[in-house]
Amino acid sequence: MSANQIPIEAIAKLADDVRLIKDFAENHNFNSGLLSASIAPKRKYDTPLLAMIGCMLIVVALVAVVKFWNPPLSTSANNFIFLIGLIFATIASMTAHMRFQDKVVTSIVAVGLLMVLFIGAGIVTPQEALNKVGELAK
C-alpha cells in the first residue's frame, strides 16, 4: 500500500465525523391527533394592527390640535398633549412589535412617530428631523 492510500476504516471514520444535519425534519410516528393542520379560522380583526393604526391617528390628531387649535393653547396644555402623544407613540411602537415581531419595523414606527411629535411640538424643524433620520439611517 502506497503512502497516499487511506485505509477504508479511516475514510469511514472521517465520513462519520463530518456528518452535518441541517434543516432536517423527521416524523417518527408522532400522534398527529395532537395538532390540527387545518388552519384555525383567522380572527376577524387583526387587533394589534388596528391598535397600532389607531394610536398613530391619535398622535397625528394631537399634533393637529397643538398646531391649529384656535385660540392657541397655553404652554402647559401643549406640554400635556405632548406627553399624551408620547404615550400613544409608545403604545403604537409596542403594538407594531407585537404585530410584526421585527426590530426594524418597530424602530421605524417609533422614530417616525417621535419625529411627528417633535416637529408638531416645535422642538425640531422638519429640516433638522430629516438630517437626524439621515444620520440614523447611516
Partner 1 sequence: MKKDTQLKKYVELFKKRISRYLAAGINIKTIIYPVDADGAVFEFQFNHDNDSSVTIDSVRPTVGRVLSDIPQRMVGGNIEGVKFGGTNLYLEGNRILVIKGEDDPPGWSGKAVVEDVQRVVSTSQGGKPA
Residue of the chain from 4, 17, 136, 138 that contacts partner 1 (CB under 8 A): 17
Residues 32-51 that bind partner 1 (CB under 8 A): 32-37, 39-40
Q: Residue from 5, 30, 68, 71 that binds partner 1 (CB under 8 A)?
A: 30
Applying CB under 8 A, does 31 fall inside the site for partner 1?
Answer: yes
Confirm or reject binding of residue 26 to partner 1 (CB under 8 A): yes
Q: By the 8 A CB rule, do 59 and 95 touch?
A: no
Exposed, middle or buried by CB within 10 Å (0-12, 13-18, 19+), for 124? Answer: middle
Residues in the chain: 138
- The site that binds partner 1 (CB under 8 A) totals a number of residues, namely 27
Farthest CA pair distance, the chain: 101
Beta-carbon count within 10 A of 129 CB: 18
Contact set with partner 1 (CB under 8 A): 16-37, 39-40, 100-102
